Amino acid sequence: MTSSEVWDEETAGRYDTTFAEKFAPEVLDPAVDFLTRLAGSGAALEFAIGTGRVAIPLVARGVPVTGIELSASMVAQLRRKADEETLPVIVGDMTTTTVPGEFSLVFLVWNSISNLRAQAEQVDCFRNAARHLGPGGRFVIELWTPPVRRLPPGQRAVPVSTGDRHLVLDTYDLATQQCTSRHYWHEADGTVRYDSGSFRYVWPAECDLMAQLAGLELENRYADWDGSPFISDSESHISVWRKPLAGRA
């Protein structure tokens, strides 16, 4: 078991509704387009597959997808939408769990590598991705860039979302790269629901070193799924590392 927090039955049950904006076509379609192109005629493996937000439309595009997911409750929600034959999933952690076969694409979306709260576990995640890739295969992650430049001296909290329905405050420990997101949801009945999650943030250059340790090479980095250039002010990145072709040093 890794240091990741595990989604329980209650949280998993409301996941698709709580994060409905992530299922919107304008958000989801560019990611599916991007991953379909990279998978080509091969198969894909998704780490932290969740309820199948990305995997199910990817399968609909003709890409065979297998998933690894730590939370059995999240897999139960996925099973309401896709059966085991259509979308096989193994319950386990993404640092050590292996599945049969060789993949042209391994992917990990929406900041999920940060759920691993130890650097060594994040390194193991890269190594596990490389283990599953065939020569020339790609590992793709979607990850936010920590907004620590917003922190004035002595302040630890950064407002991430200040919408009418959803308030998010992130607190950072710059020495350990730990982050806690505190969510305040304004419900329709006037009540406020609180939730929180803890993460370890990772810098793009740190990801590249993890990839190097796993025998992967940086191929491309973008600011979003549409392929916008990644610059110093980008708030997130889509990074693609490639496993060298057989016979290369």
Report pLDDT for 166. 80
pLDDT in tens, 102-160: 999 999 999 999 999 999 999 999 999 999 999 999 999 999 998 777 777 777 777 77
pLDDT in tens, 214-249: 999 999 999 999 999 999 999 999 999 999 997 554
Helix, strand, coil percentages (3-state) for the chain, rounded to 5, are 30, 30, 40
- Tell me if 78 sits within 8 A of 49, measured CB to CB: yes
Report pLDDT for 94. 96
Average pLDDT over every residue of 158-171: 78
Segments making up each domain of the chain, as ranges: 9-145+203-242, 148-197
- Tell me if 179 sits within 8 A of 114, measured CB to CB: yes
Distance CA 172, CA 116 (A): 16
Lowest mean pLDDT segment, chosen from 51-55, 195-199, 215-219? 195-199
CATH of region 9-145+203-242: 3.40.50.150
> Is 148-197 in CATH node 3.40.50?
no
Report pLDDT for 248. 56
pTM, entire model: 0.90
